[in-house]
Structure 1
C-alpha cells in the first residue's frame, strides 16, 4: 500500500494512522502508539528505515554490486522483509498480530501496523534481583508461551529470541503474546503443514541456512549450540580470578555440569534453541535473575564479558535458591531431596529444558503435557485438544515417556 505522510498539528499521520507517543525502540526502528481512524482503536506502528549507514558502507566496499540489477536489498531491509514474512504466517492467540504493511518504494521508511498490547512486557524482577511473580503466575505465563511456540514450530519457524522482554500482556493481563520476530528463521524442512505457497521460493531466499550459525539474539538466553566454542567439551579448570580468563578456564569457582551431558561435537541448530531460551525464561520468572551471569568486573570489556558468559552457558551448571517465586515456595535447592515436592518437579523441568545437548533436551510437547503445566486447568484434556497440532494421545505418550525418563534417572534431577 502507498503511504501518505501528512503533517497535522505538528503530529504525523500515516494513511489512517494518527501518530502519538513513542512506546518502544528496537534495533531497526521505533514503535509508536497510533490511533486507527478506520476502526477507532489504538495500534502499534513500527517505523523502520530501509537502510542505515552501515549498509551504505558495505555497499561501497562491494563495488561489483553497483552493476547488479535489481539492486540487492540492504541488510537492514532484508531483516525487515524477513520479519514481515514471519509475521504474515502468525495467526495465533499468543502472537502479536500484524495488521498492515505500508511499503512505498519511493519512501525511505516502511511501516508495520500491529495490534497494541497495552499490558506491557512481563515484569519479573526487582532492583534486588528478587522474583516478583508467584509460581502460579509463572505457570500461566509459561503455558501461553508454550502454546505460541508450538504454533511457530509447527510452521517451521524458530523464534530465536524468547525472553521476558518479548512476552507482552493484553490489556486485561489475561493473555501473553510473543512479539519481535526480527531474528526468527523459517525452515521449510520443519514445516509440518506441508503446504505449498506461490511466493515460497522468494520467501525462502531470505532465510539461508547459514543464518542459523550466527550468534543472533540476546546473549544470556542463547543456547550452548549457538555459542559453541572449540574447547566446549574439554576439561575446564576453575580459576579464582574474575579479572582473567584463559581458554580452558571457568570465570569463577562454580561447579561444571555433568560431563556426560555435554556433547563432544557441535550439535545442529534446531528449534531446540527455543526450548533452551524458554528454560532460561522459566528460571528468570522463578528466581528473579538469569541462570548464567558474569562478574561485574568483566562488564568493562564487552568482548571479554561475552566470552565468559558463553563459556558458562556451554559447560557450567546452574544454581537454584532455596525458595522460588514471590510466594517463596520451597525448592530444596539445586538437588531437592523430596521427590514428591513441587520443588523437585520444577527443578526436574529446568533440568530437561537446560540440557546442554539439544538432542536430549525436553521436547515442547512433553513440557506442554506435564502435570505441572496442566495444573489449575479445569479440563486439561479439552485444553490439549483445542491447542493441539498433533493428537492429544500422542502428546500424552510423549509426556509419559518423559516422566519415565526422569524417574529412571535418564533426565536426572540432581545432576
Structure 2
C-alpha cells in the first residue's frame, strides 16, 4: 500500500495531464496534520509519539540504539557518563579494610581476654606504606581512588598465578601479605604459606572460618558449661600475644576480615614440618644428634611457657616443628591455658589421649605443669623408639593401660642415662615425676 505523505508542491503537468496514481483511492483517509496543543512528554529510552496515521518507524529498534557489550569507549548508562578510568576503579576487586584484633576491639569476643592492640589498617594506607612516599603517585586521582588502581594492578597482573586466578592480598599491621599454597588443614582451620610483599620474608598463616567456629559448641570442664570453638581461638590469640621465645611459635599478626567471614593468624614458617607424626607410627626413630638437640630445645621452650604461667596441654611430636635454622619450636596453643597466681590446678582432658597423663583421667583437679612433663616423656619415648609407650584404638582400653599402677618398662635395650630420664618423666604418680 502506498500512503500519502506531505511533499513539496510540484509544477502541473503539461496539457492538463494527471498522474496515473492520482485516481487510486487511498486505503486510509488522509487527515490534516495538526500541531499538538502541547508537546508530549518524552519517556526515557522511548521516542516521542508520531502523529496519527503515520506508520510505525522501522528505526525504533535499530542496532545502533542498543548498548554494546564490546564498546570500549565511554559508556552512557542511565544518563551518567562513565569514563574508561572510572569503570576500571568500579570493577576492581578491592580487599576490604582489615581490623586487627585488640584490647579495644570486640570483634574477637568478650573483653575478659586481652587481644592485640588495634589500629585500623585500610588498604590504601597499607599500600601507600609499602609503595613509599612519592613513588608512583597520581596527583589527578583522588586519594580514595588510588588504592583501587594499585590493588587492581597488583591482584590481576603482578600476583596472578599461572592458571589466571588472582592471589589473595592481605593488609596487616606490619606488612602486606600475599597468600600462597596450602600447607595443611585441621578440624577448624587451614594453614597456608604467605609472603610479605616487597620483603624477603615468609610466614605461615592460619585461616579460620568464624561462622563455623561459632556454631561448634563444646563442653568446658573448667567453666562447667558449654563454649564455642571460637572461644578457644580467642584464648589461643591471647596466649600467643604474651609469648616471645626462639623455641616457641611467634604470632606476628591477627587480621579479622568480616567481609570474608575469616580470621587470619600470621605466624613463623617452619618449612621442615613436625619432628614426627603420630598417625605414621610405628616408624624409624630419630637419629641421636637431632634427638638431643630437638629435645633440649623443647625442654627450654616448655620451661619458658611454664614461666609465663602457660600450660600447653597438648605437647606431642606433631606440635614440635623444625625451623629453617634447625631449632625445635613448640606450636599449637589451641587447648592451652593460663594459670595466674602460680596456681596450675586444672580439670578435664583437653589434649590428645595417647599423650595424656594418668591423673588427668581421674576425678578432681591435677597439676597442669606436671601433666605437661608426662606428655614430654611420651614424646621422648616416640623419638627414641619410633612408637608410643601405650596405645590402643579403643580409648577405654588406652585409659586402663595408662592408669594401671604398673610402671612403664622398656621393651628393648637403651642407654642407661636415657632410660633414667624416660622412667622419671613417665612416673604414673605425679609427685614422683621428673619436672624442672
Q: What interval of TM-score do these two structures reach, taking the shorter chain for normalisation?
A: 0.5 to 0.7
* Moved >4 Å (runs of 4+): 3-8, 104-107, 124-128
When Rg is computed on C-alpha atoms for both structures, the one with the higher figure is 2
Distance 1:116 1:311, change over 3 A: same
Which of residues 302, 312, 321 is equivalent to 2:401?
Answer: 312
TM-score (norm 1): 0.59
Long gaps (5+) in structure 1: 60-72, 192-208, 230-265, 300-304, 324-330, 332-342, 365-415
Q: Say whether 1:56 aligns with 2:215.
A: yes
Quote the Cα distance in structure 2 between the aligned partners of 1:92 and 1:113: 16
Q: Is the 8 A contact 2:390 2:398 kept in 1?
A: yes
Once the two structures are TM-superposed, the CA of residue 43 in structure 1 deviates from its matched residue by 0.8
Alignment of 1:337-348 (within 5 A): 343-348=415-420
Once the two structures are TM-superposed, the CA of residue 356 in structure 1 deviates from its matched residue by 1.1
Which of residues 322, 330, 337 is equivalent to 2:412?
Answer: 322
Q: Which residue pairs with 2:323 in the alignment? A: 170
RMSD over aligned CA atoms reads 2.8
Distance 1:17 1:291, change over 3 A: same
Which of residues 266, 274, 291 is equivalent to 2:389?
Answer: 291
Q: Is the 8 A contact 1:154 1:190 kept in 2?
A: no
Q: Which has the higher helix share?
A: 1
Alignment of 1:131-210 (within 5 A): 131-173=284-326, 175-190=327-342
Which of residues 347, 353, 357 is equivalent to 1:219?
Answer: 353
Quote the Cα distance in structure 1 between the aligned partners of 2:325 and 2:353: 31
Q: Is the 8 A contact 1:117 1:169 kept in 2?
A: yes
Distance 1:38 1:98, change over 3 A: farther
Distance 1:310 1:104, change over 3 A: same
Alignment of 1:257-268 (within 5 A): 268=366
Quote the Cα distance in structure 2 between the aligned partners of 1:172 and 1:110: 29
TM-score (norm 2): 0.56
Q: Which residue pairs with 1:123 in the alignment? A: 276
Quote the Cα distance in structure 1 between the aligned partners of 2:298 and 2:261: 35
Q: Say whether 1:269 aligns with 2:367.
A: yes
SS at match of 2:362: coil
Long gaps (5+) in structure 2: 1-97, 100-120, 124-150, 219-225
Which of residues 189, 196, 210 is equivalent to 1:29?
Answer: 189
Q: Is the 8 A contact 1:145 1:178 kept in 2?
A: yes
Deviation string 1:87-119 (CA, Å, 9 cap, x unpaired) is: 111100101110111124565211101111112
Q: Which residue pairs with 1:279 in the alignment? A: 377
Q: Is the 8 A contact 1:125 1:131 kept in 2?
A: no
Q: Is the 8 A contact 1:126 1:132 kept in 2?
A: no
Which of residues 40, 48, 52 is equivalent to 2:200?
Answer: 40
Once the two structures are TM-superposed, the CA of residue 27 in structure 1 deviates from its matched residue by 3.0
Deviation string 1:23-80 (CA, Å, 9 cap, x unpaired) is: 1222321110011115331110111122327x43759xxxxxxxxxxxxx96122111
Q: Is the 8 A contact 2:169 2:177 kept in 1?
A: yes
Q: Is the 8 A contact 1:124 1:288 kept in 2?
A: no
